[in-house]
Structure 1
Amino acid sequence: MNVEKILAIAGKPGLFELKLQTRSGFLAESLLDGKKITVGMRSNVSLLSEISMYTYSEEKPLVEIMRAIAVKENEGPTISSKEDNAKLTAYFKEILPDYDEDRVYVSDIKKVLNWYNILQAKGLVSKEEPKVANAEAVKEEVVEKVKKEAKADKAEKAEKAEKAPAKTKTKK
């Protein structure tokens, strides 16, 4: 399952794919309708590969939960997130038996199932083991891009400062 460039943006429905990093944020494409949006740095954005859910023993990465759903459903769609709460919690208990019922709310379960169905419709779910090394490579790539942009910004500012006419102080 390759979700390293899949984003959840607070206040926006569905999931988005990271397309391009810009100086002021990034460009993302909706997995629901294919529309492209620009997202500023102030927006609350989460990478799906960085999200975890609470269990009684540890935090379980969302990628592993999605893989467990894919195994159970044979990579097909799961139940609708609009089912009643009892049915959703019973289903999730089958997927992740030791999830922390006090800290994982029904709204969280609905979101996970909805996200799974979006990813499944786009063919982005699989029963294969997640590739952690690939996630680290993507993370390093993004960090390098940000560093390069910062250097370019500094160089551009220094160049503008050199080209600007020198101001002289005059005494009155």
Structure 2
Amino acid sequence: MNLRGIVSVSGKPGLYKVIGQNKSGFVLESLDEQKLKLVVNLSTSKMASLEDITIFGEDDDLKLIEIFERIKESSSVPDAKADGKSLRSFFREVAPGHDEEKVYASDIKKIVNWFNILKELPLFAEEAPASAAPQD
């Protein structure tokens, strides 16, 4: 799964792909069918790369990309609008060891919603590019 360049923007629904950068911030394109473009100014908005997002765990934090891989292997993914109990039960299966006091139902809904956006995209089946090794 290749999530490089896929971001979430605070205060904006959905997910975006970074398509460029200018002096005031980043140029993004929405991943929905509308393909809206917007410029995000980093001094006024927060942007988080899905590649770097982690979920609170009881021992260690869980990487979002690993949770997506488990969701992909799951036989049935609940709707993001399902009730909190069924979402929590599902999340216990795909993210064992998550901290149930710190991970809220709204977080689980967001992760399921993001999964539903990403599963139709070609990058979902791509291998993540290897990070560049430092040269001596």
Same fold, TM exceeding 0.5?
yes
Unaligned runs of 5+ residues in structure 2 are none
Residue in 1 that maps onto 2:19: 19
> In the TM superposition, what is the alpha-carbon distance from 1:71 to its structure 2 partner?
1.6
The alignment status of 1:87 with 2:89, answered yes or no, reads no
State the SS of the aligned residue for 1:121.
coil
Residue in 1 that maps onto 2:31: 31
> In the TM superposition, what is the alpha-carbon distance from 1:121 to its structure 2 partner?
2.2
Residue in 2 that maps onto 1:109: 108
| Rounded Cα–Cα distance in structure 2 between residues aligned with 1:28 and 1:113 | 22
Cα RMSD for the two superposed structures: 1.9
| Rounded Cα–Cα distance in structure 1 between residues aligned with 2:42 and 2:58 | 34
| Rounded Cα–Cα distance in structure 2 between residues aligned with 1:124 and 1:83 | 26
**TM-score, normalised on structure 1?**
0.70
State the SS of the aligned residue for 1:8.
strand
Task: Kindly indicate which of the two structures has a greater share of residues assigned to helix.
Answer: 1
The alignment status of 1:65 with 2:67, answered yes or no, reads yes
The answer on whether the counterparts of 1:78 and 1:117 sit within 8 Å (CA) in structure 2 is no
State the SS of the aligned residue for 2:26.
strand
> In the TM superposition, what is the alpha-carbon distance from 1:57 to its structure 2 partner?
1.3
Unaligned runs of 5+ residues in structure 1 are 141-172
Give 4+ residue runs of structure 1 displaced > 6 Å after superposition. none
> In the TM superposition, what is the alpha-carbon distance from 1:79 to its structure 2 partner?
1.8
Between the two proteins, what is the percent identity of the paired residues?
Answer: 36
Q: Which has the higher contact order (CA 8 A, sep 6+)?
A: 2
Higher Cα radius of gyration: 1
**TM-score, normalised on structure 2?**
0.88
